[in-house]
Structure 1
Amino acid sequence: MGTVHAKSLDPLPMHGRDLGVNPDDLVEPPEMEHEAKQEILENKDVVVQHVNIQGLGRTKEDLLGYEISDVFHAKNLIDVMKKAHVARQKLLRLGIFKEVEVLIDTSDGTDALPNGLDVTFEVTEIKRLTGSYNTMVGNNEGSMVLGLKLPNMLGRAEKLTFQFSYGTKETSYGLSFFKPQPGHFERNLTLNMYKVTGQFPWSSLKETDRGMSAEVNFPLGMTNHTLKWEGVWRELGCLARSASFAVREESGHSLKSALSHTVSVDSRNSAIFPNRGALLRINQVSVVLLLVTDLLKELIFNTEPVSDSCSNTQFYLGGPTSVRGFGMYSIGPQSEGDYLGGEAYWAGGLHLYTPLPFRPGKGGFGDLFRTHFFLNAGNLCNLNYGDGPRAHLQKLAECIRWSYGAGIVLRLGNIARLELNYCVPMGVQSGDRYTVFL
């Protein structure tokens, strides 16, 4: 919580400077007035007369009015402090201020009420341009990553971000523009342009995407929704000479237009170590995929849709983020060892996190660890769209993969966790890859 000062609630000094007059003639009336005002502020209702923001540069004042308006509705001093703290958190959430301090004082001036308060937010804006530089090593590749960010670009919490990655194998870049709705930060629009290369060893695929996307996020009741459109020029290739024929025939250029909708309900108190709450997420995707034939030579488009079984437009299942005990994305249809994914899937899990037995390192390093017990289940398949919804649900209920086990979890800050689990995979089907330790 920021520093909250209530200057006028401190006792007034008993003696002032020597001005050549009797101090008792000056001190007693203000002291009585202060005591009366202090009693009003502590025991009776107050009125927030003014809310001031100091330190603004390029930020537009109308944006901040939405975030601090609740302070005016406070009815007593404690309520003022609580609402000022909430307003401070909202201002920091905008991502445009480095620091936000709060000052609460009694009102001054000719219009000041006996129970009037003034609240002042002292802000320090983030620099117009920030940057970062780091190196990354992984997947048999090293890369240098350069990032540039323009926070509060137009004065209403807009953000422009550019990221460039130069690797030993591939070069990628991305340009993103973020725009929240004033007063409703959770309602926002994001526009992206990018080039990115990915390798998918479970499918023996290598993919280079050049595309753009538009994403809208908004809450609705207890749910959060994301609507996203993505247009991508894709170039597919085989990652290894041993790639299956089903993967080889997908190689080449294609255009993808995808519209997706995600709805989620998340009542967890922490995304890393939750001890209460639940998460439900449903994702629906509609994809239109077109082939591009001899584009550079003839500029001719073949608009015949590609087969629905194209593996790089499918869903994948298996691994530590879905069904533990199975290899990464190694559940479902496969051809010659290459996993092709499916058109529909479901996954769920029950998790129990407890402190370490006998609480070693309690109050320190030991609090970063948890004992983990879990039960995961899920299924993935292709659909026959002529059979109807009931047949689809029946197919998703067949051959369910599930697993249970226990392990140790280490929290890495507030953004990630590291797990070591002993898994017992169940419902294993022909072609599935599974593992005991994960």
Structure 2
Amino acid sequence: MRVNSIRLEGIEHTKRSVVEPLVRPILESQNLGDVLSESREACHRISRLGVFRTVGVTLDTADPGLYGLVDDEAVDVVLNVTEAPRFYARTGADFSNYDTTTNITTRISNVLGGGEVLEANASYAVQPGIALNEPSTSFNNNETGSYFQLLLSKPILPKPVFQRPNHVDPDARAEFAAYSTNRNMSLHQSHEEETKGLSARYKTADIFRGTHELAYDVAWRRVHSLAQSASWSVRQDAGHTLKSAISHTYAKDHRDDPMLPTTGSYIRTREELAGLGGDVKFMKGEAEGQWVRSLGNGFIFTTSARGGLVVPFTGHRMRINDRFTLGGPNTVRGFRQSGIGPMDKKDAIGGDAYWAAGLSLFTPLPYLRDKPIKGHVFLNGGSLAQVNTATPPAETARIVFATPSVSAGLGLAVRFSILRLELNYCLPVTATRSDVLKPGFQFGIGVAYL
């Protein structure tokens, strides 16, 4: 059986040039099995464009055509689609023990009929101000942070003449963004950081080989609004910097649920090179992984690990806003946010190398086995240190791994549609002299956890 023609019904705004590369492989079918298989794959590719609400396929008798000739072995493939609404808006609020954030997202899909997405995101965070110069921590005012991004995204599809059958990637997209942020770091670094930048990204995805993102980012940054008690480490990095960097991110996620998985594995790596202009020059690498296994009867065992290293170019030093930080309810629990590693007075000044690992056992709860809530028993630890490029690698490894900060505890983990909430009772087991402990109950909310 061969395919006589492909018809698309229900398209109003989408251009033919966008859909045609995704359905053209159907024409290569040689028998009924090929027709059904290729049609199903074409529907899947069209759905991944994100501009159609429903996609269906039917087979029809071949159209006789201009000369009234009918081939008994030919069939017409009819794809029935319903375009999704082009305008979308959402508002919401997120709450944690570190801030309260209100946000709004607006999106216009299929702007020019080519699968483009124009999206604007804005958020405003209110954090309880902390009087760092008082003998005991007291909440006396409100500190704020804000974020804004304007993003244009467009699928990158091959022209039909250059297309190879079965090699069309509907997830390949080019993105261009302009953003502005103002982050309040006063809870652990006695300053605020303002960033304004432009970025360009190329993304591609494959459910078996993983996703890749190649990006170029240029950003003007300013460390400002220093507290009176700010340390010298913060003060020497105050002011303006210009960062120009390229980066590559690879991720492969085979977990059945990214929020509270029951089985599967996850790996992510990121490499960054800063110094293509500007006054910030370094190389940075970071990796993380997770392995999840179901033990049966609602018990789930999870092991996670992550680590990173950043090295400045010769003649340059690392700044406080380019170093790693560690500690808090989403990483090594039982410690203050960014409470592990080097400190200057009460400021977490970050490190050049770190590692962290965790073991978690999620247990079913009586009468709640069918609910997205689990008991949680954990053991996690890690270390963060500043390293000297002149130090031998063996000595650097000893510095980073010799004195880990470790904690254990138990609590509850609750899965929501877009995030996970944890309430744990934490007990620090080992710590360094500079660590800031947070024993007792700790509340966390987010997407990624150790």
TM-score between both structures, scaled by the size of structure 2: 0.71
Match for residue 213 of structure 1 among 191, 199, 209: 199
Please name the residue that 1:155 is paired with: 113
Match for residue 91 of structure 1 among 7, 29, 46: 46
1:408 aligns with 2:395: no
1:173 aligns with 2:160: no
Using the TM superposition, give the Cα deviation of residue 332 of structure 1 relative to its aligned residue in structure 2, in angstroms: 0.6
Unaligned residue ranges in structure 1 (runs of 5+): 1-45, 292-303
Q: Does the 8 A contact of 1:199 with 1:239 survive in 2? A: no
1:372-393: CA deviation from partner (whole Å, max 9, x where unpaired): 3444333222221123544443
Instruction: Give, as a single letter, the amino acid of the residue that structure 2 aligns with 1:66.
Output: P
- The structure-2 alpha-carbon separation of the partners of 1:189 and 1:425, relative to structure 1 and needing over 3 Å to count, comes to farther
Instruction: Give, as a single letter, the amino acid of the residue that structure 2 aligns with 1:187.
Output: A
Q: Does the 8 A contact of 2:46 with 2:170 survive in 1? A: no
Please name the residue that 2:384 is paired with: 380
Higher mean displacement: 428-437 or 131-140: 131-140
Once the two structures are superposed, the pairs formed by residues 327-346 of structure 1 within 5 Å of their partners are 327-346=336-355
Please name the residue that 1:8 is paired with: none
Return the alpha-carbon distance in structure 2 between the equivalents of residues 205 and 312 of structure 1.
Answer: 11
Please name the residue that 1:396 is paired with: 400
Higher mean displacement: 72-81 or 404-413: 72-81
Q: Which has the higher helix share?
A: 1
Unaligned residue ranges in structure 2 (runs of 5+): 127-143, 158-167, 281-312, 443-450
Using the TM superposition, give the Cα deviation of residue 63 of structure 1 relative to its aligned residue in structure 2, in angstroms: 2.4
Q: Does the 8 A contact of 2:375 with 2:411 survive in 1? A: yes
- The structure-2 alpha-carbon separation of the partners of 1:378 and 1:167, relative to structure 1 and needing over 3 Å to count, comes to closer
Instruction: Give, as a single letter, the amino acid of the residue that structure 2 aligns with 1:58.
Output: H
1:318 aligns with 2:341: no
TM-score between both structures, scaled by the size of structure 1: 0.73
- The structure-2 alpha-carbon separation of the partners of 1:327 and 1:171, relative to structure 1 and needing over 3 Å to count, comes to closer
Return the alpha-carbon distance in structure 2 between the equivalents of residues 111 and 390 of structure 1.
Answer: 79
Q: Does the 8 A contact of 2:226 with 2:235 survive in 1? A: no
Please name the residue that 1:188 is paired with: 173
1:110-135: CA deviation from partner (whole Å, max 9, x where unpaired): 5554454433222222455x252536
Q: Does the 8 A contact of 1:187 with 1:219 survive in 2? A: yes
Instruction: Give, as a single letter, the amino acid of the residue that structure 2 aligns with 1:92.
Output: S
Report the 3-state secondary structure (helix = DSSP H, G, I; strand = E; otherwise coil) of the residue aligned with 1:371: strand
Q: Does the 8 A contact of 1:238 with 1:247 survive in 2? A: no
Please name the residue that 1:28 is paired with: none
Q: Does the 8 A contact of 2:29 with 2:38 survive in 1? A: yes
Instruction: Give, as a single letter, the amino acid of the residue that structure 2 aligns with 1:432.
Output: D
Return the alpha-carbon distance in structure 2 between the equivalents of residues 196 and 223 of structure 1.
Answer: 30
Using the TM superposition, give the Cα deviation of residue 340 of structure 1 relative to its aligned residue in structure 2, in angstroms: 0.8
Return the alpha-carbon distance in structure 2 between the equivalents of residues 197 and 422 of structure 1.
Answer: 32
Q: Does the 8 A contact of 2:205 with 2:211 survive in 1? A: yes
1:199 aligns with 2:154: no
Return the alpha-carbon distance in structure 2 between the equivalents of residues 192 and 141 of structure 1.
Answer: 26
Using the TM superposition, give the Cα deviation of residue 311 of structure 1 relative to its aligned residue in structure 2, in angstroms: 1.3
1:63 aligns with 2:18: yes
Return the alpha-carbon distance in structure 1 between the equivalents of residues 271 and 373 of structure 2.
Answer: 35
Please name the residue that 1:100 is paired with: 55
Q: Does the 8 A contact of 1:261 with 1:285 survive in 2? A: yes
Higher mean displacement: 58-67 or 136-145: 136-145
Report the number of matched residues.
374
Matched-pair identity in %:
30
